[in-house]
Structure 1
Amino acid sequence: MARSIDPRFRRSSAGASGNVMDRRTAALGLMAACAVAGDVAGETAGAPAAVPQNAAWSSWAARFLGADGRVIDDQAGGISHSEGQGYGLLLAQAHGDKTAFRGIEDWTTANLQVRQDHLMAWRWHVNGAVRAMDWHSATDGDVFRAWALLRAGRATGCSDWVARAVAIARDIDALCIAPDPRAQQLPILRPGAEARMTADRVLFNPSYIMPRALRALGTAAGTPRLIAAADHGERLIADLAGQGAVPDWIDVTEQGFDAPREHDLRSGYDALRLPLYLIWSGQGRHPGVARGLETLQRARAPGHLAVVTDADGAVTAESDQPGYLSIAALARCRPRPVTPTDAAGQSYYPATLQLLAQVAAREQDACETL
């Protein structure tokens, strides 16, 4: 289905308790109000996106975005999760698709806004339920959702979207920050409000650090700890990169880094996002970029990348999916073009990463700091 693209909408950016249903209803009302604001206000974003970019977005949306605004993870049995809703919202904003943006945020508010704060439940099943521990939050999804709302609000002049972004950012600050056991004044971004932490051990996912988004949200919300968490997160990633492939999950302890208690110690599908996020944040010279590219290039099969390596550095999974190749290409300062047919041959995750890499290349020159 053809989508109307508004270039003004696509613009790159620089504790809550109460009645859940009341907040959900109020949020849907804000979205309706912002639909009007988005049509009549906002700053000029420059030239509209090139046809191939919008064609790639339309192809992605046709496959992974339901008519109700639900982003569908086809590789996980058709579930939806906060990561997908956050990514989808950002992509809709970046491509100027206000209809998709409103639909994604409306669905998210109605189905994942079930907590007594402004964070999302992390998983929704195809039977329409958030089950058991699925109400726990996942910080990466909340960060991307808040950043997308902030960007859209600033581009269109919709103060309600900005206010919603600020509320999410403040709850991330209040609920998802822990002191580094080695230096209490240094904040670690936790992977979720319910993630394990003690005074001497904090669970950390390096790929949840999206520095550009965290700094923008920290500035907008007046929460300097989010900015400090971005700074310290970059230092932690650099330290890990100095030891080898950056892991998906790690424990930060009083003595340094240790194997995580809930996850295998490996570098896989989470960690491969690190070069994308760092380059997007203007950190092309960060050690995490070079290490991430070096890890990806360990594959033996021609045209493939190593997408999973174990604790000993042995490659256990390789892939030639365009989405993963796009991250390596971005790290090499040779952004890979997206074709409208790419989504047809990929599952949700690589297809989504490919579009995110395209937006990153557009918003941050990959070679600017190399």
Structure 2
Amino acid sequence: MRKVLVGLVAIVLLAIGACLAMNWYAARPWKAWQAFARVFVQPDGRIVDRTANARSTSEGQAYGLFFALVANDRQVFDAILAWARDNLAGGDLTGSLPAWLWGQGDDGTWGVIDANPASDADLWMAYSLMEAARLWDAPRYEEIGRAILWRVKAHEVIDTAAGPMLLPAPEGFALKPNGWRFNPSYLPEFQIRYFAMEDPSGPWSRVWGTYTDMLAQVTPAKVAPDWFEWYPEQGAQQDRKTAGIGSYDAIRVYLWAGMTPQPTLSPSMLDGYAELIRMRGLPPEQVQVTTRGINGGNPLGFSAAALPYLHALNEDRLLERQEKRLIENRIAADGEGGAESGSLGDPAHYYDQVLALFGEGWVAGRFRFGDNGQLETRWEQSCCGVFSR
């Protein structure tokens, strides 16, 4: 009997030790987020794009909310939200959608430069607020998030002959005659699933169906464009303004597809870009989507954004090459590089850092999206109740 009790005690102690180790692992700080916050997030919550005349955008504030939630950094989350509310939405995010661009005007004063909202930022803001309400048990966030989502439906979703579709913004994207201009990177599938679950009477599932039908018409070479046009008679067409190029917007299409569990927009439907990565070893900056002609360099952030996409395609060698490149170019605050530590590149560019937080954060298991689009974070995954919410 004594031997049995000793054995049971040993098992219990091992289980507790393993549990504590798991909790320690789950609670480790996200160094890449901390580095981003040091460089790009002001104490008042403004996220500054220092590579673009120190401007701020609703996209930057929305992404900042998401990353702060993933990092369990509620103080910074609240600061980012307050700055967006006071400076992009006239003090009330439940009453108006945030302006997309804030910065220094021609007269030298700082403020809103373009009040037109950006629908991708609006959806990311709504998503991050609604999930913050659930994960942090803070209902006030949900009220704001649902108000934003309602305004997206009212002002940024239109009915086309092909079905409902998300406009990039309420103004400026109508084309003559009777056409529209769309951005495929504005619609992550996991996010649309989430809104369809949370707002079942909304247009979200139908929007996704319209989007995938249109995108299929402009990806004959399995390469995503930055923009495309749609007309009732001709259907989806290559964008004339950007000459059918896939670049800084399109890279997010591959990123979202790679992070979505069991996607209907499978990475294999866009594997033309993977073939181009094989040719160079690195993701190309610009691709002509019909001919696969490539141009430009190989931005660091593109290597990060490609990680989930390459993972989904089982491109292990290409994945390892991107990870190696990122580690070699990550500058830690203590002067030592390494995965998830410090800023990416010197100097650090805003968009590179954002793509790295998404791509590297996902690969490192900082976050995942469930089948219904709900956010799963490392910090909420714990045992013994030590770090449970």
- TM-score normalised by L of structure 1: 0.76
Q: What pairs with 1:21-36 in structure 2 (closer than 5 Å)?
A: none
| Aligned with residue 269 of structure 1, among 234, 248, 255 | 248
Query: What residue number does 1:164 align with?
Result: 144
Change in 2 beyond 3 A, CA 1:225/1:300: closer
> By how many angstroms is 1:63 displaced?
1.1
> By how many angstroms is 1:153 displaced?
0.5
- TM-score normalised by L of structure 2: 0.72
Query: What residue number does 1:129 align with?
Result: 111
Q: Partner of 1:332: helix, strand, or coil?
A: helix
Contact in 2 for aligned 1:272/1:292 (Cα 8 Å): no
Query: What residue number does 1:354 align with?
Result: 356
Change in 2 beyond 3 A, CA 1:299/1:212: closer
Q: What pairs with 1:231-310 in structure 2 (closer than 5 Å)?
A: 231-254=209-232, 255-260=234-239, 262-284=241-263, 286-287=265-266, 289-290=267-268, 292-295=270-273, 297-298=275-276, 303-310=281-288
> By how many angstroms is 1:303 displaced?
4.4
Equivalents in 2 of 1:50, 1:350: separation in Å? 25
Contact in 2 for aligned 1:169/1:221 (Cα 8 Å): no
> By how many angstroms is 1:353 displaced?
0.8
Q: Partner of 2:296: helix, strand, or coil?
A: strand
Q: Partner of 1:145: helix, strand, or coil?
A: helix
Q: Partner of 2:111: helix, strand, or coil?
A: coil
Query: What residue number does 2:310 align with?
Result: 332
> By how many angstroms is 1:116 displaced?
9.4
> By how many angstroms is 1:155 displaced?
1.0
Query: What residue number does 1:343 align with?
Result: 344
Contact in 2 for aligned 1:112/1:120 (Cα 8 Å): yes
> By how many angstroms is 1:223 displaced?
4.3
Query: What residue number does 1:179 align with?
Result: 159
Equivalents in 2 of 1:137, 1:93: separation in Å? 23
Equivalents in 2 of 1:223, 1:261: separation in Å? 35
Residues 341-365 of structure 1: per-residue CA shift (max 9 Å, x gap):
3435331101111111234443448
Q: Which amino acid aligns with 2:360?
A: Q
| Aligned with residue 189 of structure 2, among 208, 211, 235 | 211
Instruction: Provide structure 1 residue ranges, at least 5 long, that are not aligned to the other structure.
Output: 1-45
Contact in 1 for aligned 2:30/2:340 (Cα 8 Å): no
Query: What residue number does 2:125 align with?
Result: 145
Does 2:34 match 1:58? yes
Change in 2 beyond 3 A, CA 1:332/1:344: closer
Instruction: Provide structure 2 residue ranges, at least 5 long, that are not aligned to the other structure.
Output: 1-21, 328-338, 371-389
Q: Which amino acid aligns with 1:341?
A: G
Does 2:48 match 1:72? yes
Equivalents in 2 of 1:305, 1:269: separation in Å? 11
Query: What residue number does 1:11 align with?
Result: none
> By how many angstroms is 1:284 displaced?
5.0
Equivalents in 2 of 1:174, 1:314: separation in Å? 39
> By how many angstroms is 1:235 displaced?
3.5
Equivalents in 1 of 2:193, 2:230: separation in Å? 22
Equivalents in 2 of 1:223, 1:149: separation in Å? 20
Change in 2 beyond 3 A, CA 1:282/1:244: same
Equivalents in 2 of 1:365, 1:107: separation in Å? 27
Equivalents in 2 of 1:140, 1:221: separation in Å? 17
Residues 60-106 of structure 1: per-residue CA shift (max 9 Å, x gap):
11111111111111221210101111111100011100011001000
Identity %: 23
Equivalents in 1 of 2:278, 2:193: separation in Å? 38
| Aligned with residue 60 of structure 2, among 69, 84, 88 | 84
> By how many angstroms is 1:213 displaced?
1.7
> By how many angstroms is 1:56 displaced?
1.1
Equivalents in 2 of 1:347, 1:207: separation in Å? 20
Equivalents in 1 of 2:27, 2:280: separation in Å? 31
Change in 2 beyond 3 A, CA 1:276/1:125: same
Q: Which amino acid aligns with 2:66?
A: L
Contact in 1 for aligned 2:217/2:237 (Cα 8 Å): no
Q: How many residues align?
A: 314
> By how many angstroms is 1:118 displaced?
2.9
Contact in 1 for aligned 2:218/2:237 (Cα 8 Å): no
> By how many angstroms is 1:230 displaced?
2.6
Residues 95-154 of structure 1: per-residue CA shift (max 9 Å, x gap):
1000110010000001111499431101000442112xx100111111111111011001
Equivalents in 2 of 1:86, 1:365: separation in Å? 17
Does 2:317 match 1:315? no
Equivalents in 2 of 1:278, 1:300: separation in Å? 19
Q: Partner of 1:257: helix, strand, or coil?
A: strand
Change in 2 beyond 3 A, CA 1:47/1:189: farther
| Aligned with residue 88 of structure 2, among 88, 112, 118 | 112
Change in 2 beyond 3 A, CA 1:218/1:365: closer
| Aligned with residue 166 of structure 2, among 181, 186, 189 | 189
Contact in 2 for aligned 1:64/1:71 (Cα 8 Å): yes
Change in 2 beyond 3 A, CA 1:328/1:163: same
RMSD across aligned positions (CA): 2.8
Q: Which amino acid aligns with 1:256?
A: G
Equivalents in 1 of 2:141, 2:295: separation in Å? 43
